[in-house]
Amino acid sequence: MTLFQYITLFVAILLVIFYYIWRRNQNVLVTNWPIIGMLPFVLHNQSNLHDFVTLGLKLCRGTFHFKGPWFTNIANFILTSDHLNVHHITSKNFSNYGKGTDFHEIFDVLGVGILNLDFEEWKQERTLLHSLLKGKSFEISFQQNIQKKLENFLLRFLDHASKSVQVLDLQDILERFTFDITCILLFGFDPRFLPYKFNELPEIAHVKAISIIEDTILSRHYIPKYFWKLQKWLQIGQEKKYKVAQENLHQFLSKCITYYSKGDEERRRLRNGEDFDESHFYLLKALMKEGLGNEEMVEIDKYIRDTAFNLLAAGSGTVSSGLSWFSWLVSTHFIVEAKIIQEIKDNCLSHEDNLVTNLRVEKLNKLVYLHGAICEALRLYPPVPFQHKCAIKADILPSGDYVKPNTKLIYSLYAMGRMKQIWGKDRFEFKPERWISDKGHILHVPSCKFIAFNAGPRSCLGKDISIVQMKMVAAAMLWKFHIQVVEGHSVTPRVSIVLRMEHGFKVKVSKR
């Protein structure tokens, strides 16, 4: 036989095998092809991956074994939305599940920050950040700064926008707002990416840089490792954009850090008369005081920069994503909107009151229905839609699935918010009532079911402050303005590591 005949025969055999597999899998959602595994399923459903994964998990009763292409890093992994499995991984057998080496490579931008640490190093960092984020000084500074920023910027901005009757992207506005707030809390100064005038929106390279970094990280999950590493080495394609974005962010962070590590006099001189709002308490100052005492900390500059980046990543896009989905859900559910307004009226206002200064924790605790609406938005649209872990030793999950050492496990927070076993038949409905007891109190749902803030020892350190921030912004915004989605604007989730809206959130606002 000639070489040509050998090749033809080989191709023919391959086609017959592929045809056979295709016939056998016609009724199966995901086909496991030879060589390429289930990768075509990911690529084909890239644009609606979260919903497709939710459907797949439903058909597989909550746990699914993904087979990656041969000879690539996209190894086989277990995908689950079974809350008993998640409880096992995040809490019961927590010590057996770390982030793993793949995570550290894919999320290299997190450096030595908490989100990228495991075991002893993580424990130390968690203890330090816990003491700072849960301290009284932080809580007081946090509330005061949000009140100021709301009054002086967000509400004034929306007021301007309502007068000009123009369309605005509320998702972008909320991202600017939470970015500014996080900078105030971290560095004690406000970069003012959200101005108070509607027509003075500055270019925000740093927020865009975060979005490029998030997209690249997502693509590194399904592009073969050797391919993206080659791109990185050659500095081409998405990896080039990533590097530029990372440098951009590092420059911004270094500037903030250099500026705020100086003494008061020096800062005043550097500020050169520019009038920045400054906060007396900020995390970076507290962290430097604590961190500098640690003799093992050789690369202190890198540590401070990475920690600042981790907190910016953890606390900025997540809150704005939550607020954007909340605003969309409320603006398309008029009865919910009316109930929230009534609740604010009944609990936060007397005739002479200014609502914003009245939004203190004691008052916010009375807004039970608003609390339910926020939890409901976070259930349906969790800002962090998936999490991944890596098993150290062999294990058996409560679902009966066997886990080999070094297996990757991904749990979908998005799918878990839509599982009938957890939320019942009406799981796709936006129903704040599901969070309220017969006596009118907030119902507690265990974190392995309401997973938006993760569960177990690695649950979110910013959960309480995020809910407070979201309640303050939501109450002030809804009380003063009616938000109307622009007709024909399509709202769909963007597939990324933070769940934003693909086309933004185009609205018109009018004063109530």
Distance of CA 512 to the CA centre of its chain: 31
CB contact at 8 A, 432 and 376: yes
Minimum separation from the CB atom of position 268 to ligand HEM (A): 28
Neighbouring residues of 492: CB distance < 8 A, sequence distance ≥ 6:
48, 501, 502, 503
Neighbouring residues of 124: CB distance < 8 A, sequence distance ≥ 6:
none
Q: Is 322 in the site for ligand HEM (CB under 6 A)?
A: yes
DSSP output for 105-174: HHTGGGTTSGGG--HHHHHHHHHHHHHHHTSHHHHHHHHHHHHHHIIIIIHHHHHHHHHHT--EEHHHHH
Q: Is 97 in the site for ligand HEM (CB under 6 A)?
A: no
Q: Judged by CB under 6 A, which of 86, 129, 370, 483 binds ligand HEM?
A: 129
Nearer to ligand HEM, 30 or 495 (CB): 495
Q: Is 461 in the site for ligand HEM (CB under 6 A)?
A: yes
Q: Is 74 in the site for ligand HEM (CB under 6 A)?
A: no
Q: Is 458 in the site for ligand HEM (CB under 6 A)?
A: yes
Q: Is 217 in the site for ligand HEM (CB under 6 A)?
A: no
Binding part of the chain for ligand HEM, among 253-261, 284-292, 461-469, 496-504 by CB under 6 A, reads 461-469
d(CA 423, CA 295): 49
Nearer to ligand HEM, 42 or 89 (CB): 89
Minimum separation from the CB atom of position 100 to ligand HEM (A): 12
Q: Judged by CB under 6 A, which of 155, 304, 356, 384 binds ligand HEM?
A: 384
Structure tokens at 3: 């070489």
What single-letter DSSP state applies at residue 386?
A: E
- Number of residues interacting with ligand HEM: please give it, by CB under 6 A: 23
Structure tokens at 69: 């292409």
d(CA 17, CA 12): 9
Minimum separation from the CB atom of position 384 to ligand HEM (A): 4
Q: Judged by CB under 6 A, which of 78, 86, 115, 368 binds ligand HEM?
A: 115
CB contact at 8 A, 442 and 436: yes
The answer to whether 460 is a known ligand-binding residue is yes
d(CA 331, CA 480): 14
Nearer to ligand HEM, 38 or 452 (CB): 452
Binding part of the chain for ligand HEM, among 35-43, 313-321, 354-362, 363-371 by CB under 6 A, reads 313-321
Minimum separation from the CB atom of position 359 to ligand HEM (A): 17
Q: Is 256 in the site for ligand HEM (CB under 6 A)?
A: no
Q: Is 452 in the site for ligand HEM (CB under 6 A)?
A: yes
Nearer to ligand HEM, 191 or 322 (CB): 322
Q: Is 465 in the site for ligand HEM (CB under 6 A)?
A: yes
Classify burial at 56, counting beta carbons within 10 Å of its beta carbon; exposed 0-12, middle 13-18, buried 19 or more. buried
d(CA 105, CA 92): 27
Binding part of the chain for ligand HEM, among 155-163, 247-255, 383-391, 417-425 by CB under 6 A, reads 383-391
Backbone angles phi, psi at 296, to 5 degrees: -75, -15
Nearer to ligand HEM, 45 or 454 (CB): 454
Structure tokens at 387: 């999490």
Q: Judged by CB under 6 A, which of 49, 454, 474, 478 binds ligand HEM?
A: 454
Say which residue the tokens 């060589």 belong to: 35
Q: Is 449 in the site for ligand HEM (CB under 6 A)?
A: no
Provide, for the chain, the percentages of residues in helix, strand and coil under a 3-state DSSP scheme, each rounded to the nearest 5: 60, 10, 35
Q: Judged by CB under 6 A, which of 56, 62, 100, 383 binds ligand HEM?
A: 383
Q: Judged by CB under 6 A, which of 462, 495, 499, 509 binds ligand HEM?
A: 462
Binding part of the chain for ligand HEM, among 11-19, 216-224, 289-297, 459-467 by CB under 6 A, reads 459-467
H/E element, 298: none
Cα-only R_g, the chain? 24
Range list of β-strands (E), 263-324:
none
Q: Which amino acid is at 258?
A: T
Distance of CA 431 to the CA centre of its chain: 22
Per-residue x/- marks for ligand HEM, 9-28, CB under 6 A?
--------------------
Minimum separation from the CB atom of position 64 to ligand HEM (A): 21
d(CA 491, CA 502): 7
Residue nearest to ligand HEM (CB): 462
Backbone angles phi, psi at 388, to 5 degrees: -130, 150
Minimum separation from the CB atom of position 378 to ligand HEM (A): 6
3-state DSSP call for residue 295?
Answer: coil
Q: Judged by CB under 6 A, which of 453, 479, 481, 505 binds ligand HEM?
A: 453
Minimum separation from the CB atom of position 459 to ligand HEM (A): 7
Minimum separation from the CB atom of position 466 to ligand HEM (A): 4
Residues at the site binding ligand HEM, with contacts judged by CB under 6 A: 114-115, 126, 129, 133, 311, 314-315, 318-319, 322, 383-384, 387, 452-454, 458, 460-462, 465-466
Q: Where is the binding site for heme, in residues? A: 460
Q: Where is the binding site, in residues? A: 460
